[in-house]
């Protein structure tokens, strides 16, 4: 077992690997989110992260592969925000309302909008996007609806389909927010209509 060779701490392989991998991911998340997928070259991302294309291709299967990881990251980020809100809700119905509002706040982030809502479907294909979104967001929304339905808050029906339709409406709402010159100003109107749409499903 050799000792450290002087002041420079020698790093293990796993440390090096995960460090560069993380740097690359963070840089890619920033650039994909700011400039969009098509306008961001892989070499530029690697350079901004302090390495070359070769390193990027060593850690990820390609540009689309890197984007996919970034996409998943953003979804995890949103899912974490949802989680924090939902656990404090007093009842399933409030959890639904608060969750949807939180998702809209996530859409306020320009990077989230660009990566998840705009480029995601075109780059990864709708099926892949749908699968990842299901894993992190849609299932939560569906389960929330099921819980609300079980307690009689909302009407029954095909909740798999309905949760996805609501998700589509929320994405559109998120895009409206992001596009607006005054997101904070229109937030109440958009969030209000979104809640009305949700509230319209309440069992009368």
Question: Where do contacts with DNA occur on this chain (CB under 7 A)?
Answer: 2, 10-14, 16-17, 20-21, 40-44, 46, 50-55, 57-59, 62-64
Residue 136 makes contact with a copy of itself by CB under 8 A: no
107 vs 117: CA distance, rounded Å: 9
Residues in Cβ contact with 31 at an 8 Å cutoff, skipping those fewer than 6 apart: 40, 44, 45, 48
Q: 194, 100 in Cβ contact below 8 A?
A: yes
Of the candidates 121, 134, 143, 146, which one interacts with a copy of itself according to CB under 8 A? 121
The pair of structure tokens assigned to 166 is 């609501």
Please list the residues that pair with 66 across neighbouring strands: none
Pick what 192 binds: DNA, a copy of itself, none; C-beta below 5 to 8 Å, kind-dependent: a copy of itself
Please list the residues that pair with 154 across neighbouring strands: 202
Q: 173, 104 in Cβ contact below 8 A?
A: yes
Instruction: Give the range of 20-28, 54-62, 100-108, 159-167 binding a copy of itself by CB under 8 A.
Output: 159-167
CB of 105 to a copy of itself, least distance (A): 16
Give whichever of 54 and 90 is closer to DNA, judged by the CB atom: 54
**What dihedral angle (degrees, nearest 10) is formed by the CA atoms of 109, 110, 116, 118?**
150
Pick what 58 binds: DNA, a copy of itself, none; C-beta below 5 to 8 Å, kind-dependent: DNA
The size of the chain, in residues, is 204
User: What is the contact surface with a copy of itself in residues (CB under 8 A)?
Assistant: 36-38, 117-119, 121-123, 125-127, 130, 155, 157-158, 161-162, 164-173, 175-176, 178-179, 189-190, 192-194, 196-197, 200-201, 204
């Amino acid at each position: 077992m050799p000792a450290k060779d002087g002041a420079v701490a020698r790093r293990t392989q796993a440390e090096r690997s995960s460090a560069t991998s993380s740097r690359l991911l963070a840089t890619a998340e920033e650039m994909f989110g700011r400039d969009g997928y098509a306008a961001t070259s892989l070499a530029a991302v690697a350079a901004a992260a302090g390495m070359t294309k070769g390193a990027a291709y060593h850690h990820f299967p390609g540009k689309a592969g890197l984007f996919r990881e970034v996409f998943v990251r953003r979804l995890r980020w949103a899912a974490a925000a949802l989680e924090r809100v939902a656990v404090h809700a007093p009842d399933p119905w409030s959890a639904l309302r608060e969750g949807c509002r939180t998702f809209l706040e996530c859409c306020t982030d320009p990077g989230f909008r660009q990566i998840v809502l705009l480029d995601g479907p075109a780059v990864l294909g709708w099926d892949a996007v749908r699968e990842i979104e299901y894993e992190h967001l849609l299932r939560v929304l569906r389960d929330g609806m099921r819980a609300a339905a079980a307690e009689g808050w909302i009407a029954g029906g095909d909740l798999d389909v309905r949760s996805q339709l609501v998700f589509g409406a929320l994405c559109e709402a998120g895009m409206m927010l992001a596009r607006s010159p005054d997101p904070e100003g229109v937030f109440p109107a958009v969030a209000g209509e979104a809640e009305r749409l949700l509230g319209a499903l309440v069992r009368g």
